[in-house]
Chains A and B, each alone.
Chain A
Amino acid sequence: MTPLVEMRDISIAFGGIKAVDHVSIDLYPGEVVGLLGHNGAGKSTLIKCLSGAYRADAGEIYIDGQKVDIRNTRDARALNIETIYQTLALADNLDAASNLFLGRELVTPSGLLDESRMEAETRRIMARLNPNFRKFADPVMALSGGQRQSVAIARAVYFNARILIMDEPTAALGPQETQMVAELIQELKRQGLGIFLIEHDIHAVMKLCDRAVVMKNGQRVGTVRVDEVTDDDILGMIIMGKKPAQAA
């Protein structure tokens, strides 16, 4: 089977510091791959080359086996790559519908924004993702952490994402909201999306992911199937930077 995403030999440096150093990872449809590592291990930087926020200095990206050139976030979106950033990347002063369609607004034939249609579409997708969501007219700064998260997820899911990047999606959420995100990830996985999950929490990775990639100092320590290793094995990889012997 051709991988949905293949990133080969990616390198990127900032002012002489190698943030990502010859790393290769891949992702298959219906799969969740966790990216683990300390702060500064390079996992966010690596994934930003896929989401279009950064351009790699070297290396290649293949989508469905086709080589692609992702120069900016527009290019990534055109390839159905959607990203949910840790900071959620919402404009706090705008309402849910404006954020959902930001950069991809629906317009009337005369070229003006079609506010009503955007709100109707937002209500439709929110009914699926978070049926209790009511605050369609308020700016998102008036929403709770969980509600904001559901706006960010709705934005990624609405445009038929095939590849979803989630950067610590549950970092700012309570237990119930975390559970909702976990269920959503399972649902999207069943629909055949490929998901990269950047996480600090090893338990979340063990629970949600099929495979885990561990990074340290810009390099890949190793890739493991989560059902073949223990929490401690992964912890060892993160801290020691060594692959466990039995999973080699």
Chain B
Amino acid sequence: MHMSDLSPAAPPRRNWLQQLEIDLRLLGMIGAFALVCLCFWIVTDGRFLSARNIFNLTIQTVSVAIMATGMVFIIVCRHIDLSVGAILALASAMMGMMQARWLPGIFGLELGHPLIAPLTMVTGLLVGTAIGALNGWLVGYQRIPAFIVTLGGLLIWRYVGWYLTAGQTIAPLDQTFLLFGGAEGTLGVTTSWIVGGLASIAALWVIYGARRRKQSHGFPVRPIWAEGAVMALVVGLIMGFVAILNSYELPQAKLKRIFEARGEVMPEGYTQGYGLPISVLILILVAVAMTVIARRTRFGRYIFATGGNPDAAELSGINTRLLTVKIFALMGFLCGLSAIIAQARLQSHPNDIGTLDELRVIAAAVIGGTALSGGIGTIYGAILGALIMQSLQSGMAMVGADAPLQNIVVGVVLVLAVWIDIQYRRRLGMR
């Protein structure tokens, strides 16, 4: 149609980086993350990248990262959710009351009953999902701006939780429930290796499957060396991560207590690695599921289409109102999930649980490249964003920077990240 398009079909020669077909923005974010790690590694004499600190860093990131994946969908659809911290707090309050008061007191399950943890968690997930769906209904069907609905929610839900608990901190919690907090529930060395191995096989299978699908339609694929390099990189990352978590060992004093509790004597020179925490495993599963939803399902496709052009989505027969309900309900579900992990990590329900999480979650999504104008965002970006923020905070705490300075730096990084993203998009000729 265009005269300028009449050039011959020969594909332009690509450099090695293009042949790898790795997303440049992903590369940029990993580069930024690596830079942050490198700086703190130098300043802390290597302590920042010790197995112990990496282990703690991942555990601390999980709760915000899980919610950030949901926030990507919300922001891509041109909405916002300011109530996630409050929903987390209410779900946590309900779960605290459930396991410490209602189930033992009203339903007569004695402490330690195997049903307490599952019932509690289902309650938390249901509460989150229900409030999310309510938000979505108010935004989608009643046409109240999401900013207002969720700003109201920010004020409402935390304090509904406050009345439930009469303002008290709820503890102690169920022992099984505590496994979801992080350090108290890890897979151990052997199981972690097995999980890492299975994950590697699955990743290779996905890469291979994508290549075969492309070939079957005659589309160009990566050269073999590039495919091999990507596969090696992925497996290396997975197994390296597992190796680091496995190399962090339980303190000797704690091991001794465990053996004593079993009535045994700890053998001389005995050590035991933590391995993959259950909460981190949950985050990884959430990340995979959300990525599949975003890229390979109608639901995800419609979220991005609606964010790109709401009128076009409507004219294509997409029910954008119901879509809004689903997105907010999913966000609420993820808040419930984060509530389980955050509460188990703190080993109690304090009233200020999840305070300011809405801002951390939004910042994580935005640092990860989600555009507030809608239509653009990735799940991996949001998780990396959460990781970058947590690294900054944790690193600065290690260096001895006080809380006000930490906030200043995170704020500067937020604005800087968005500015770089805008420059990058302008280069590519996008909006």
The residues of A with any CB-CB pair to B shorter than 8 Å are: 53, 72-74, 77, 83, 85, 87, 89-94, 98-99, 102-105, 107, 111-113, 115-117, 119-120, 130, 132-134, 139, 141-142, 144, 146-147, 149-150, 176-177, 180
Question: Taking the nearest CB of chain B, how far is it from the CB of A139, in angstroms?
Answer: 7
Contacting B6 at CB < 8 Å: which of A73, A132, A141?
Answer: A132
Beyond A90-B309, A91-B304, A119-B219, whether A112 also contacts B315 by CB under 8 A is no
> CA separation between A139 and B312, bound complex, in Å?
15
Q: Is the CB of A91 within 8 A of B308?
A: yes
Question: Taking the nearest CB of chain A, how far is it from the CB of B255, in angstroms?
Answer: 45
- For B428, the chain A residues whose CB sits under 8 A away are 142
Q: Is the CB of B3 within 8 A of A176?
A: yes
CB < 8 Å A-B pair total: 107
- For A116, the chain B residues whose CB sits under 8 A away are 213-214, 216-217, 219
> CA separation between A126 and B340, bound complex, in Å?
50
Question: Taking the nearest CB of chain A, how far is it from the CB of B354, in angstroms?
Answer: 31
Q: Return the chain A residue nearest B377 by Cβ.
A: A93
Beyond A89-B312, A102-B316, A116-B213, whether A141 also contacts B430 by CB under 8 A is yes
Beyond A53-B315, A89-B315, A102-B316, whether A139 also contacts B430 by CB under 8 A is yes
Q: Is the CB of B317 within 8 A of A72?
A: yes
Q: List 17 A–B pairs whose Cβ atoms lie within 8 Å, in order of A's numbering.
A: A73-B316, A89-B309, A89-B312, A91-B308, A94-B308, A98-B301, A105-B301, A107-B298, A113-B296, A113-B298, A115-B213, A120-B219, A133-B1, A133-B5, A144-B2, A147-B1, A177-B1
Beyond A102-B305, A113-B301, whether A132 also contacts B2 by CB under 8 A is yes
- For A94, the chain B residues whose CB sits under 8 A away are 301, 304-305, 308
- For B292, the chain A residues whose CB sits under 8 A away are 112
Contact with A along B403-429 (1 / 0, CB 8 A): 000000000000000000000000011
> CA separation between A91 and B376, bound complex, in Å?
11
- For B301, the chain A residues whose CB sits under 8 A away are 94, 98, 102, 105, 113
- For B216, the chain A residues whose CB sits under 8 A away are 116
> CA separation between A146 and B5, bound complex, in Å?
11
- For A98, the chain B residues whose CB sits under 8 A away are 301, 305
> CA separation between A73 and B316, bound complex, in Å?
7
Contacting B308 at CB < 8 Å: which of A92, A112, A133, A177?
Answer: A92
Question: Taking the nearest CB of chain A, how far is it from the CB of B129, in angstroms?
Answer: 22
Beyond A89-B315, A93-B376, A150-B1, whether A112 also contacts B304 by CB under 8 A is no
> CA separation between A92 and B216, bound complex, in Å?
28
The residues of B with any CB-CB pair to A shorter than 8 Å are: 1-3, 5-6, 9, 213-214, 216-219, 292, 295-298, 301, 304-309, 311-318, 375-376, 428-431
Classify the interface of chain B: helix, strand, loop or mixed: helix
- For A177, the chain B residues whose CB sits under 8 A away are 1-2
- For B298, the chain A residues whose CB sits under 8 A away are 105, 107, 113
- For A133, the chain B residues whose CB sits under 8 A away are 1, 5
- For A89, the chain B residues whose CB sits under 8 A away are 309, 311-312, 315-316
> CA separation between A10 and B325, bound complex, in Å?
35
> CA separation between A115 and B296, bound complex, in Å?
8
Q: Is the CB of B309 within 8 A of A146?
A: no
Contacting A91 at CB < 8 Å: which of B214, B218, B297, B305?
Answer: B305
Beyond A112-B292, A112-B296, whether A103 also contacts B318 by CB under 8 A is yes
Q: Return the chain B residue nearest A72 by Cβ.
A: B317
- For B218, the chain A residues whose CB sits under 8 A away are 120
- For B6, the chain A residues whose CB sits under 8 A away are 132
- For B9, the chain A residues whose CB sits under 8 A away are 134
> CA separation between A53 and B304, bound complex, in Å?
21
Beyond A107-B298, A139-B430, A146-B1, whether A93 also contacts B304 by CB under 8 A is yes
Q: Return the chain A residue nearest B312 by Cβ.
A: A89
- For B304, the chain A residues whose CB sits under 8 A away are 91, 93-94
Q: Is the CB of A103 within 8 A of B317?
A: yes
Question: Taking the nearest CB of chain B, how far is it from the CB of A41, in angstroms?
Answer: 22
> CA separation between A90 and B305, bound complex, in Å?
9
> CA separation between A53 and B312, bound complex, in Å?
11
Question: Taking the nearest CB of chain B, how far is it from the CB of A83, in angstroms?
Answer: 8
- For A117, the chain B residues whose CB sits under 8 A away are 217
Given contacts A89-B315, A147-B2, 20 further A-B contacts (CB under 8 A): A77-B317, A89-B316, A91-B308, A91-B313, A92-B431, A93-B376, A103-B318, A105-B301, A113-B296, A113-B298, A115-B213, A116-B213, A120-B219, A134-B9, A142-B429, A146-B2, A147-B1, A176-B1, A177-B1, A177-B2
Q: Is the CB of B312 within 8 A of A90?
A: yes
> CA separation between A27 and B304, bound complex, in Å?
37
Q: Is the CB of A74 within 8 A of B375?
A: no
> CA separation between A113 and B304, bound complex, in Å?
14
- For A107, the chain B residues whose CB sits under 8 A away are 298
Question: Taking the nearest CB of chain A, how far is it from the CB of B45, in angstroms?
Answer: 45
> CA separation between A112 and B299, bound complex, in Å?
10
Q: Return the chain A residue nearest B4 by Cβ.
A: A144
